[in-house]
Chain A
């Protein structure tokens, strides 16, 4: 199975700061990578699909990129409502679909 190594596990940042979260795939997954945000007590929500495409209704301060087997989620100017846990998900070698371990984003 493909492993998705997500980093950092936790992150503390200030409002308006640029935040970057990464996922490293254990092998090539092409653009079969999506990102999700989970706010406390809520279900995950799709942010980015196809590694770089913004899901409907997601603010443009979120963006996704790819460099080889490393994928990044960037928040250009952190807002209060962005606090939560972020997960990546690979669907290239699926089944099984595999999630990253998550990144907990907090306000400094």
Chain B
């Protein structure tokens, strides 16, 4: 069965970076794009960007272009998102999700990032 397993919650200091992981299983990793979505507390969902695990091609929401960097490791079927120069505005839950042709059919369990000194 398809599963996207995300890394655990992170507490990071302002100005620092954090790298989140999303390990895929139950399907051929390189056959589906992986997207990342942000959900601030009590707010709606925001699309951050996606990566093609086969080619490494990425596309970002303009809002997150200088904030997020998406990568993959095909040897471990893992997608990563690094968030840089963190501020309190980056405190949120982040999800990875699989693209099944425009819609998102499987989601990771989410990882809460808290930015605090």
Q: A34 with B104: in contact, given A43-B95, A96-B61 (CB under 8 Å)?
A: yes
Q: Which of B9-17, B70-78, B84-92, B105-113 contacts A (4 or more CB under 8 A)?
A: B105-113
Whether a CB of chain A sits under 8 angstroms from the CB of B47 is yes
Whether a CB of chain B sits under 8 angstroms from the CB of A55 is yes
Task: Tally the A-B contacts, defined by beta carbons under 8 Å.
Answer: 54
Interface residues on A, range: 20 to 34
Q: Per-residue CB proximity of A75-105 to B under 8 Å, as 1/0?
A: 0000000000001010100111111111000
Which residue of B is nearest A31, CB measured? B102
Q: Is the CB of A100 within 8 A of B44?
A: yes
B82: min CB distance to chain A, Å = 19
Q: Is the CB of A46 within 8 A of B44?
A: no
Q: Is the CB of B50 within 8 A of A102?
A: no
What is the CA–CA distance of A101 and B43 in the complex, to the nearest angstrom? 8
B67: min CB distance to chain A, Å = 14
Interface residues on B, range: 20 to 34
Whether a CB of chain B sits under 8 angstroms from the CB of A10 is no
Q: A55 with B61: in contact, given A95-B50, A97-B47, A100-B44 (CB under 8 Å)?
A: no
Give the secondary structure class of B's interface. strand
B70: min CB distance to chain A, Å = 13
Contacts of A46 in B (CB 8 A): 103-105
Give the secondary structure class of A's interface. loop
- Among B43-70, those with CB < 8 Å from A are 44-47, 49-50, 59-62
Contacts of B102 in A (CB 8 A): 32, 34, 49, 91, 94
Q: A95 with B105: in contact, given A44-B45, A87-B44 (CB under 8 Å)?
A: no
What is the CA–CA distance of A49 and B59 in the complex, to the nearest angstrom? 22
Q: List 8 A-B contacts (CB under 8 A).
A: A34-B102, A34-B103, A43-B110, A50-B103, A87-B44, A89-B104, A97-B35, A97-B47
